[in-house]
């Protein structure tokens, strides 16, 4: 089985961390490859960033189809491009926010999300509503670290851990969801320090895709997620043409 993990930003050091965390949970016989697109933002911290990351994501999905990937993980907590990726991928595509929230809902009555910048909290709430998790999600908290600081700030783990502890006290929740793929390698340490389950979406999504492929399941193509209608794109998007 080949699971391709797409980190929508172009920061390869973060992609390497994501790949290590995904490989750590993948079962025997599952090959995991994490990639960054050749075009896009170095980090995703706004709607602008997210929108401009989608062409790079879809390019990597198209490459995965040619390479024989069985399924895909979108490794950004905003789950950017998820619906579009499901239209063009033959195997299952899972976003890390989606997988993390569903996993957390099976570990306790409620969960809190700890993310990066405060400006991203609205997107996390939006996704909780979309995934039917609005009642289970007690709060979304920002630690006010930029995404790239997770990769190079020596105090990042301490700051995120303190934010997780504060979220538990503020919300009275049972589980913490880490709201950024760049936090994936902090999961076990934080859980040990604060004494509750801490869910990393990279691991959760990787195992969800692996399970779906094992069960022979893929995205339904009858309706909304059927391949996009054939049409010609122009200018910088000419390479995304779907006709011919």
For the chain, which domains are there? 2-95+204-240 (3.40.50.12500), 97-200 (3.40.50.12500)
The SS3 assignment for 82 reads helix
Q: Are 85 and 105 in contact (CB under 8 A)?
A: no
Supply 15's token pair.
């992609």
Q: Is 14's pLDDT higher than 80?
A: yes
Q: Per-residue pLDDT for 244 more than 80?
A: no
Asked whether 31 and 61 are in contact (CB, 8 A), the reply is: no
Do 174 and 109 meet the contact criterion of CB atoms below 8 Å apart? yes
Distance of alpha carbon 78 from alpha carbon 241, whole angstroms = 26
The rounded distance, in Å, linking the Cα atoms of 143 and 215 is 38
State pTM to two decimals.
0.97
Could you report the per-residue pLDDT of 141-182, keeping only the tens digit for each?
999 999 999 989 999 999 999 999 999 999 999 999 999 999
Alpha-carbon distance 227 to 125, whole Å?
29
Separation CA 222–CA 64 (nearest Å): 22
What is the reported pLDDT for 238? Answer: 94
Decide: 107 and 176 in contact? Cβ < 8 Å: no
Alpha carbon distance 141, 100 (integer Å): 15
Q: What's the whole-number average pLDDT of the chain?
A: 97
Beta bridge partners of 115: 142
131 Cβ contact list (under 8 Å, min separation 6): 97, 98, 101, 102
* pLDDT score of 11: 97
pLDDT of residue 133: 98
Residue 232: per-residue pLDDT: 95
Has residue 76 got a pLDDT over 90? yes
Question: Cβ-count burial of 41 within 10 angstroms (0-12 exposed, 13-18 middle, 19+ buried)?
Answer: buried
pLDDT tens for 196-225 read: 999 999 999 999 999 999 999 999 999 999
């Amino acid at each position: 089985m080949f699971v391709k993990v797409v980190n929508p930003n172009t920061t390869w050091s973060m992609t390497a961390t994501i790949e290590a965390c995904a490989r750590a949970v993948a079962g025997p016989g599952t090959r995991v490859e994490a990639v960054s697109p050749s075009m896009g933002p170095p980090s995703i911290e706004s709607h602008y960033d997210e929108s401009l990351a989608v062409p790079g994501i879809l390019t990597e999905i198209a490459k995965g189809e040619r390479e024989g990937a069985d399924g895909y993980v979108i490794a950004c907590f905003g789950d950017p491009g998820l619906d579009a990726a499901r239209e063009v991928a033959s195997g299952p595509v899972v976003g890390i926010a989606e997988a993390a929230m569903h996993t957390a809902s099976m570990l306790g009555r409620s969960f809190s999300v700890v993310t990066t910048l405060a400006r991203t909290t609205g997107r996390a709430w939006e996704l909780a509503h979309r995934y039917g998790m609005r009642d289970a999600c007690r709060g979304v908290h920002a630690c006010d670290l930029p995404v790239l600081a997770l990769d190079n700030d020596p105090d990042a783990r301490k700051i995120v851990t303190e934010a997780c502890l504060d979220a538990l006290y503020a919300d009275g929740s049972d589980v913490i969801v880490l709201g950024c793929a760049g936090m994936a390698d902090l999961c076990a340490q934080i859980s040990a320090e604060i004494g509750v389950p801490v869910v990393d979406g990279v691991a959760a999504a990787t195992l969800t895709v692996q399970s779906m492929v094992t069960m022979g399941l893929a995205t339904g193509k009858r309706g909304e997620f059927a391949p996009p209608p054939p049409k010609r794109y122009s200018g910088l998007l000419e390479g995304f043409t779907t006709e011919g």
